[in-house]
């Protein structure tokens, strides 16, 4: 009977050529997304690429390419192709895994390349039991079936490894699903719920709070967080050439008036709360001096306004005191320039302390029960990149499954062993035959160890 012709649409969607075409398109467009910086203000693209190219970038949504409709369509087409390819080819693999290998013709098996034959001086029945016990002892549990001229034994290992490539396929689909679930475009235009997934940012001055961030897709559009984040402080260190060395923000999450979580974040060490991740991405010098007070023992920090005309009272938890700027002097350029300040300072313990502070240079002040670091510097606003990606665990799961599938597909194999017990010239003979779908050289060594020494005591 002639094989049933495939539906041409199904055949096209299951085509490997289509898969290669879509992979090529995804790879080439991803290169574009690497060259063109993503999620920058419109002015950035005008300055970098010029007005004409910037217009093309904006019209094709290349500034947020991975969340654009056309890129998501490409991912969807590739996902459909991969799913149909798997469905189209899977039944054949299932048939191979489930096939009855004892129906094989012994004469055909004896023509296979990997085999080892042993003549044994014993009865056919005794040799059959010996071969069965030998395979079991070597870790190969064999099934048997009587044939016209003898007994055929069969054992296999790793039949399930033939599904390894499909684990890879499923992992890719899982990763793509995670990317789609975590796409702000899908959240806004399909789910009509921008808070489900978003990417944005906020510039938050020290000692200020916000419960909203600004979307990268629409810079004038703000999104509610559902809670409040406060910047307690911002610290930055510079190299000698003036370039920033590292910067840290102290953030607190608040629900109403209750402080839920406080954490110091820096580049690659974000804060996560309720599926929302805050990354340290930038900063802004507000060109406004402030007084920074830090208890070295407890780590508590207090930010005081710069007031050269009055005494400033401060309190942080149980700690409290007063600080006054008594005098300000310009430092000659020959001595490095800048300014220095005479400070009168006290806490709740002991008499006041007086000392001098240079701008942007901390001074340690010893008190009866505490040690404080006092510093006068500019106030900063921390630049936070904020994202909510509910698909991230789908992506992580897909990556784990991909590693497992790749290891199975490339480093494991389906191995088969037959043992054909028959008589030849009036003597019992055992023919061991082996087959593996991958790593034939490695399996040949396994096969040699398996058959080595069989029937020595009877030969």
- The pLDDT-based confidence of 338 (bands split at 50, 70, 90) is confident
Cα torsion through 142, 143, 146, 150, rounded to 10 = -10
The residues near 79 (Cβ < 8 Å, ≥ 6 apart) are 172, 173, 176, 177
Are the beta carbons of 340 and 329 closer than 8 angstroms? yes
Do 122 and 81 share a domain, yes or no? no
Token pair in block for residue 123: 């009865």
Across the range 84-98, mean pLDDT stands at: 92
- The Cα–Cα gap between 302 and 304 comes to 6
- Residue 257: pLDDT band (50, 70, 90) is confident
For the chain, give the longest Cα–Cα distance: 118
pLDDT greater than 90 at residue 416: yes
Over residues 307-334, the pLDDT tens digits come to 888 899 988 878 889 999 999 999 887 7
Answer whether residue 188 is part of any domain.
no
Q: Is 116 helix (H, G, I), strand (E, B) or coil?
A: strand
Same domain, 244 and 313: yes
User: Domain limits at 127?
Assistant: 109-158+413-458
Q: How far apart are CA 249 and CA 380, in angstroms?
A: 10
Q: CA 231 to CA 249: how far, in whole Å?
A: 7
In 3D space, the residue among 161, 167, 6 whose CA is nearest the CA of residue 82 turns out to be 167
Residue 444: predicted pLDDT: 95
Tell whether 154 and 276 lie within a shared domain: no
Is 140 domain-assigned?
yes
| Cβ(304)–Cβ(316) below 8 Å | no
Mark whether 228 and 367 lie in a shared domain: yes
Which pLDDT band, with edges at 50, 70 and 90, does 120 fall under?
Answer: confident
Q: What is the pTM of this model?
A: 0.74
190 is a domain residue:
no
Across 266-392, the runs of DSSP E, i.e. the strands, are 271-273, 276-295, 301-305, 312-316, 319-330, 339-347, 353-358, 363-366, 371-388
pLDDT of residue 1: 45
CATH code, 116: 3.30.310.80
My answer on whether 267 and 373 are in the same domain is yes
Pair 78, 179: CB distance under 8 Å: no
pLDDT over 70, % of the chain: 97
On whether both 323 and 369 belong to a single domain, the answer is yes
pLDDT of residue 65: 84
Q: Pick the last residue of a domain from 338, 373, 388.
A: 388
Q: Please give the Cα distance from 284 to 282 (Å, whole number).
A: 7
- Both 344 and 423 in a single domain? no
Please say whether the beta carbons of 458 and 122 come within 8 A. Answer: yes
CA dist., res. 427 & res. 193, Å (int): 80
Q: Is residue 344 part of a domain?
A: yes
Burial class (CB in 10 A: 0-12, 13-18, 19+), 49: middle
Identify whether 291 is part of a domain: yes
DSSP 240: T
Total domains present in the chain: 3
Residue 191 included in any domain: no
pLDDT (tens digit per residue) in 23-63: 899 888 888 888 888 877 778 888 888 889 989 988 888 88
Is 176 inside any structural domain? Answer: no
Specify if 150 maps to a domain. Answer: yes
- Give the pLDDT mean for 88-115: 93
Half-sphere exposure of 165 (CA within 13 A, CB side): 13
Nearest partner of 434 among 158, 155, 118, judged by Cα: 155
CB 431 within 8 A of CB 158: no
d(CA 407, CA 171): 13
Which tops the pLDDT comparison, 67 or 401?
A: 401
185-225 pLDDT, tens digit per residue, is 888 888 889 889 998 899 999 999 999 998 876 666 788 99
- pLDDT confidence of residue 5: 63
């Amino acid at each position: 009977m002639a094989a049933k012709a495939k539906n041409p649409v199904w055949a096209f969607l299951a085509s490997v050529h289509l898969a290669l075409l879509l992979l090529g398109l995804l790879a080439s467009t991803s290169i574009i997304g690497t060259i063109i910086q993503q999620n920058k203000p419109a002015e950035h693209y005008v300055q970098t690429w010029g007005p004409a190219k910037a217009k093309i970038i904006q019209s094709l949504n290349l500034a947020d390419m991975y969340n654009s409709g056309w890129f998501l369509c490409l991912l969807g087409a590739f996902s459909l192709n991969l799913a149909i390819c798997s469905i189209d080819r899977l039944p054949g693999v299932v048939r191979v895994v489930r096939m009855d290998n004892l129906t094989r013709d012994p004469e055909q098996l004896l023509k296979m390349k990997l085999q080892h034959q042993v003549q044994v001086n014993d009865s056919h029945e005794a040799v059959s039991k010996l071969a069965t016990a030998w395979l079991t002892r070597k870790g190969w549990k064999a099934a048997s079936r009587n044939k016209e001229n003898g007994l055929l034994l069969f054992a296999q290992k790793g039949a399930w490894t033939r599904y390894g490539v499909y684990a890879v396929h499923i992992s890719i689909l899982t990763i793509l699903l995670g990317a789609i679930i975590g796409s702000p475009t899908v959240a806004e235009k399909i789910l009509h719920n921008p808070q489900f997934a978003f990417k944005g940012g906020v510039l938050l001055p020290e000692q200020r709070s916000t419960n909203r961030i600004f979307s990268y897709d629409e810079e004038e559009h703000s999104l509610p967080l559902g809670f409040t984040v406060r910047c307690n402080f911002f610290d930055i260190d510079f190299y000698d050439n003036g370039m920033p060395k590292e910067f840290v923000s102290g953030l607190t999450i608040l629900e109403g008036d209750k402080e839920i979580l406080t954490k110091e974040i820096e580049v690659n060490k974000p804060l996560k709360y309720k599926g929302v991740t805050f990354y340290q991405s930038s900063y802004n010098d507000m060109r406004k001096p402030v007084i920074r007070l830090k208890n070295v023992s407890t780590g508590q920090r207090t930010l005081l306004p710069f007031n050269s005309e009055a005494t400033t009272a401060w309190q942080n938890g149980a700690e409290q005191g007063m600080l006054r700027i008594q005098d300000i002097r310009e430092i000659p350029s020959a001595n490095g320039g800048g300014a220095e300040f005479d400070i009168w300072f006290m806490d709740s313990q002991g008499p006041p302390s007086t000392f001098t502070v240079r701008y942007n240079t901390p001074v340690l002040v010893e008190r009866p029960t505490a040690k404080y670091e006092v510093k006068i510097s500019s106030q900063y606003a921390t630049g936070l990149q904020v994202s909510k990606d509910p698909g991230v665990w789908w992506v992580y799961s897909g990556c784990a499954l991909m590693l497992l599938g790749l290891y199975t597909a490339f480093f494991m194999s389906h191995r088969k062993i037959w043992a054909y017990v028959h008589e030849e010239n009036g003597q019992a003979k055992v023919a061991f035959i082996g087959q593996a779908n991958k790593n034939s050289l490695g399996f040949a060594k396994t096969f040699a160890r398996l058959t080595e020494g069989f029937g020595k005591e009877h030969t």
